[in-house]
Amino acid sequence: MKTNESIDDSRGSTDLSPVDTGAVIQGAASTPENKRRRLVRGAVAFAPLVLTLRSGAVAAAASCTGTKQLPTLDANGEFTASGAQVGDACVTNYERNSCPGSKISSGTNPGIAVIEGTVDPAKLKCHNLTGNVAILSNPAVNSLIPG
């Protein structure tokens, strides 16, 4: 009895489809080529993970809010202005969390407005606050408040 063998020597897979990424043509590619294909497929599989980590870092950096000034208030709650002005907002308990420069990632008491100094009119004041505060514009304060 005769066997029905194909005359074609390519011995390629006959059930390949465009979405079959795991197919390896037996006999047509050498073992080093198959290893290289697996390496490339593995590297491509990690690309979404790397892109996610990168975009996550970008989002974290974007969550930092710029301040006008990071003064230390004196015993009267006053400070010398260098960028801040009356009407800006005082934010206490601020955190920087790896934000660059004079940017912050969070804070509390954003409703306290910067006013003119009461003891020294040449200074500005955060009413009833002492210690370290961040001075932000009103739009910047709104970006700190969770929406």
Tokens of 113: 């407005």
Segment 62-78 mean pLDDT: 84
Q: How far apart are CA 122 and CA 128, in angstroms?
A: 18
8-state DSSP, 83: S
Phi, psi of 38 (to 5 degrees): -65, -40
Number of domains within the chain: 2
124 and 76 in a common domain = yes
140 and 109 in a common domain = yes
Q: What is this structure's pTM?
A: 0.55
Query: Cβ contacts of residue 63 below 8 Å, gap of 6+?
Result: 105
73 and 140 in a common domain = yes
For residue 27, what pLDDT is reported?
55
* Final residue of a structural domain among 10, 41, 62: 62
Model confidence at 9: pLDDT above 60? no
